[in-house]
Chain A
Amino acid sequence: MSRMSKKCVPYTPFTGKLSEATVALVSTAGVHRKDQPAFHPDGDPTYRIIPGDTDTRELMATHGHYDTTDANTDINCVFPLDRLRELAAEGTVGGVGNKHIGAMGFSMKLKQMYEEVAPAIAKEVERSSADLVVLTGG
């Protein structure tokens, strides 16, 4: 398949109902479980799989390019997993994904590495139960 121009915007229409859709979170705010290796604060192309049943008290943010104080006080500032769970419990969304992704986001000098990692992250999401994805940065 030929490479798509950067000016072209990929777009998958959503034709379902939010109340029947499973939503997953993908973060570039450096979110990870406390029992997972921290991201390198200067830049890190790796990602973490955050299991869907993770207690948010087990999550933290490691990032060199924004102040993570608020994120580490309440991870929902950057990774609204508790809010998403509430929306699922009340039926606004159909469900919460069985895995979410935490990563650090991209700096220009690591762009080439991330061009390999971004498709890998997308594949993880594809293999998950997610119908829709909400992305957040820091």
Chain B
Amino acid sequence: MIQREIEMLGIPTVLITVVPQESAVNHPPRAIHPVGFPIGNPLGKPHRTEVQRAVLLDALKQFEVLNMPGKILDRHIAP
């Protein structure tokens, strides 16, 4: 709901989700799902800075590519 409201004000958004079934209910404008990352660790484990960076970069990349609004993209990022 928050994401929809921000997008409606004209600010592009992207969601990083590890609960894609729940997130799908809200039809997010842009969303990635790092496959295999558990609840509590959407960007990976503590101090795994390369993984955190990779997930964040993948999310940010969604602003630069063609999107399918409402679709959550499964992304295979090494944990």
Name A's B-contacting residues (CB within 8 A).
4, 6-14, 18, 21, 23, 26, 28-29, 66-71, 73-74, 76-78, 80, 82-84, 86-87, 92-93, 103, 106, 114-115, 118-119, 121-123, 125-126, 130-138
Contacts A14-B63, A77-B40, A132-B12 given: A103-B56 contact, CB under 8 Å? no
A57-B8 Cα distance, complex, nearest whole Å: 33
- Tell me the B residues contacting A by CB distance below 8 Å: 1-19, 23, 27-29, 39-47, 49, 52-53, 55-57, 59-60, 63-64, 67, 69-70
| B8 A122 Cβ-Cβ under 8 A | yes
- Complex: A28 Cα to B42 Cα, angstroms: 12
Closest A residue to B39 using CB positions = A66
For residue B62, give the distance in angstroms from its CB to the closest CB of chain A.
Answer: 9
A77 and B41 within 8 A (CB): yes
The reply to whether B12 and A26 contact each other, CB–CB distance below 8 Å, is no
Report the nearest B residue to A114, measured CB to CB.
B1
